[in-house]
């Protein structure tokens, strides 16, 4: 597949993170995480909460248990995870606001004829409750955190997304908001457009930054790809 910047290595697809990138849903995760922490025995510190931004479900539970000084018993963690995801799925069944410019950016990518994928650390069950809001036809494929061996910050979700689209990660721009997600996308070989949400993202090779998705054009996405993959 060729892109507008020429050759088989050109931009072919855009891979979107979900929470904090397309949807302003990190605040709902904050509610669920803090409630779970109290149920497990203590208030969650802000430092612990920052570490949870963008984490996969298993990593998030390990962080919560460690922050409370709890034994990481697999059965206890599994039960806590089920409670957390039931709570967050319930919260996401209500109104879900878009991140600024995200809805228009999705349409811009589709109008440009680029392939699209949703690549999230969120579980399939919770993601399904968000897809009606996002528009199921906005994506050619979706990859959830419980469908890969290792979630972000490992590169597995982005590698799987590119594989399902029939392209190489080097032909993709990933759009992310968190350090965890940005690390995963860059490690997979994607060019990364970072639009920070809840926490700052350190600068590193392979990342291009934008304040918001408002006014994002397809030409900018091709420029992001050329900047990282000349």
| Section 193-220 average pLDDT | 95
Whether 83 and 176 have beta carbons less than 8 Å apart is answered as: no
Phi first, then psi, for residue 191 (nearest 5°) are: -75, 145
Res. 230: pLDDT tops 50: yes
Residue the block writes with tokens 């072919």: 12
Distances (CA, A) of 10 to 5, 66, 81, 114: 5, 43, 40, 11
- Predicted confidence at residue 168, as pLDDT, reads 97
The pLDDT tens digits for 157-185 are 999 999 999 999 999 999 999 999 999 99
* Residue 215 clears pLDDT 50, i.e. is over it: yes
Read off the tokens for 22: 């397309």
């Amino acid at each position: 597949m060729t892109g507008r910047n020429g050759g088989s290595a050109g931009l072919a697809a855009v891979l979107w993170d979900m929470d904090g990138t397309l949807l302003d849903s990190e605040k709902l995760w904050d509610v669920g995480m803090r409630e779970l922490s109290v149920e497990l025995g203590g208030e969650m510190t802000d430092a612990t909460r920052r570490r949870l931004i963008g984490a996969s479900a298993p990593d998030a539970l390990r962080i919560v248990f460690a922050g409370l000084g709890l034994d990481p018993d697999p059965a206890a963690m599994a039960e806590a995870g089920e409670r957390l995801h039931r709570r967050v799925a319930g919260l996401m069944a209500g109104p879900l606001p878009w991140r600024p410019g995200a809805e228009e950016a999705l349409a811009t990518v589709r109008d440009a004829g680029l392939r699209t994928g949703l690549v999230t650390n969120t579980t399939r069950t919770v993601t399904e409750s968000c897809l009606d809001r996002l528009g199921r036809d906005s994506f050619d494929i979706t990859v959830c955190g419980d469908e890969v061996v290792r979630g972000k910050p490992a590169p597995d979700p982005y590698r799987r997304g590119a594989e399902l689209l029939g392209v190489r990660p080097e032909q993709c721009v990933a759009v992310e908001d968190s350090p965890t997600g940005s690390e995963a996308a860059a490690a997979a070989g994607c060019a990364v457009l970072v639009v920070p949400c809840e926490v700052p993202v350190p600068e590193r090779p392979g990342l291009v930054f934008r304040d918001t998705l408002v006014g994002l054009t397809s030409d900018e996405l091709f420029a992001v790809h050329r900047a990282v993959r000349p």
